[in-house]
Chain A
Amino acid sequence: AQSVTQLDSHVSVSEGTPVLLRCNYSSSYSPSLFWYVQHPNKGLQLLLKYTSAATLVKGINGFEAEFKKSETSFHLTKPSAHMSDAAEYFCVVSDRRGSTLGRLYFGRGTQLTVWP
């Protein structure tokens, strides 16, 4: 069974400081993992995607995530936060087997606040 745990429901950082959003997953198979971002009153936008080609995945807007199988983690980072990064972030694992190919399982989200 697939599941995702986002370890922080809220993260606050100052503009220009690093961002770390933590995610642990559970999967019976080699997972596909994603990070999505949701700005207020908007749909979800794909930030980055891991599919085993490389453990360090670079995404849009300067975000990246590192897949660590031994820790079952897929933490999202950014070296320097910008005000426009304030949003809700979702860690997602995908089920690619059987009749449920492509189904996504979402974490509960981490609200990122960026202070000026």
Chain B
Amino acid sequence: NAGVTQTPKFRVLKTGQSMTLLCAQDMNHEYMYWYRQDPGMGLRLIHYSVGEGTTAKGEVPDGYNVSRLKKQNFLLGLESAAPSQTSVYFCASSHRTGRRESDNQPQHFGDGTRLSIL
């Protein structure tokens, strides 16, 4: 069972370079999310998507772009990398969540991408 797969697992970039992080899920989840994790900060939401072709900003969206062209894939792009974007990036996915408490679906996480910007 693959679950949520992130590629690459590690990457080192120079300031100003661009790159795309790929997230793929095989659970037919409607919702997908990108987070960054920094020491002592927990996880902060960058962008998310509630369906194919739709994306929305999270808490810390600046400097990132996303696309959800296929239901199973969610791409995170850095157009011009900055040292402040050095972090561990996690992708997650979940089934659609409804308004009832019992509808709240847990999120399933990938193993992360460790990104260093020099």
Contacts and interface: CB of A to CB of B under 8 A. Distances in A.
Interface of A: 9, 30, 32, 34, 36, 41-46, 49, 51-53, 90, 94, 96-97, 99-104, 106-109
Which one of A46, A99, A102, A106 has the greatest number of beta carbons of chain B within 10 Å?
A102
Interface string B2-34: 001000000000000000000000000001010
A96 B90 contact: no
B101 A32 contact: yes
A103 B43 contact: no
24 contacts: A9-B40, A41-B111, A41-B112, A43-B110, A44-B43, A44-B90, A45-B109, A46-B106, A46-B107, A51-B101, A51-B102, A51-B104, A53-B102, A94-B97, A101-B50, A101-B97, A102-B96, A102-B97, A102-B107, A103-B45, A103-B48, A106-B42, A106-B44, A108-B40
Residue among A44, A49, A51, A107 with the most chain B CB within 10 A?
A: A44
Contacts of A109: 40, 42
A20 B99 CA distance: 31
Interface in B68-118: 90, 92, 94, 96-99, 101-112
List 7 A-B pairs, minimum CB-CB distance, nearest first.
A43-B109, A102-B97, A106-B42, A32-B104, A51-B101, A44-B109, A106-B43
Contacts of B56: 99-100
Nearest to A29: B101
Interface residues of B, number: 32
Contacts of B105: 102
A99 to B, nearest CB: 7
B109 A52 contact: no
A101 B99 contact: yes
B94 A102 contact: yes
B101 A52 contact: yes
